[in-house]
Each structure stands twice: as structure tokens, then as C-alpha cells.
Amino acid sequence: MYGKILLSIILIIGAYLLISRGPLVMKNAEAMNKESNTEHLDEVNPDQVDWKAKDDDYWKEVLTPQQYAVCRHEGTERAFTGKYNSFKGHDGAFYCSSCGNKLFDASTKFDSGTGWPSFYDVASSSSVTLRTDERYGMSRTEVRCARCDAHLGHVFNDGPSPTGQRYCINSVCLMHKDN
């Protein structure tokens, strides 16, 4: 008899916790799926800021949770979910959503079928930095923003001509601007 009462109490408390926390979980899920925040770039001249001097608290405050996880902690957005995966515009350029650094000309974007925006070349040799990434039991080349050191994605040697490169970049790390 006491076992049934105890079980009933546990079930009631569990149901209460699920119901009471449901909106919080949904709210966090919505925040995680929110597009990149670039409002912090509107308040300054991005070319005159020492972005590498910004600390983790700054990035946590100005970026969305997904941006923060990907750009500052080398996360990856799920394939085929990013805003720019199927983006078709060939005008303008793609910039770092953290610091506004020009990364890729829109004309170099192509459909790689991988689920992430792909580019065959960078806007300039000083746009990004590359480093070896040996996490998860494989060796890859990580792509980072040269100005703020944000993780952007990875580059592979299976892209189209003329470079043979495939810069596979998370959408949340990018913002597009027309010419």
C-alpha cells in the first residue's frame, strides 16, 4: 500500500515537472533555432574593433545560443537546416556573423549536396585561417575567421574547379549582404 502511494507521488511530481518546465524547454529550443544575431555589428564600425580581445562573456551576451555554440565552441549545426544551405543568390558576399569580416563572394557558392553552404574559394587569403582539427578520430582542416577567430566549418579537397576546394561552412556563422 505504501509502495502504491509512493509511486503515485513520484508520478504526480514527475508530471508536474514535465508540465511546468515544458514552456522553458520550448523557449530554449526556439532560441537555438533563431537565425544569427548581427545587431551588435550595427552599433560599431566592425573594422575598428579588436574582436580577438572580446571575452567569452561578451560573445555569450551578443550571439544567439546556436551561434555561440558553433562559433565560439566549435559546434556544428544539423545538416540541411541552415538558412544559407539552399540560398541561390550570386550577388554580394558572405560575412562573419560574429565580427562582420568578409569571408566569401556569393559567386563562389555552390551546392555540394552535403547540407551546409559550400564555397570553392575565400574572398581573400586574409579572410580566414586554417588549422588542423583531429577531433572525433579524423584529421580535417578547420576554417576560422581571421578577424575574430570564430569557428566557421571545415575545408575539403573535393570541390569544383578552379580551386578544387570545398569550404563547408555553418550558416549560423554567416550573414549575406547584397552588393
- The set of catalytic residues is 168
How far does the chain reach from its first CA to its final CA, in angstroms?
Answer: 74
Rounded CA-CA distance 160/40 in Å is 35
In this structure, what are the phi and psi dihedrals at residue 120, rounded to the nearest 5 degrees?
Answer: -95, -5
Residues in Cβ contact with 30 at an 8 Å cutoff, skipping those fewer than 6 apart: none
Q: Is 128 helix (H, G, I), strand (E, B) or coil?
A: strand
Helix ranges (DSSP H) in the chain? 2-33, 39-42, 56-62, 65-67, 73
**Dihedral sign (CA 31, 32, 36, 41):** positive
DSSP class of 124: S
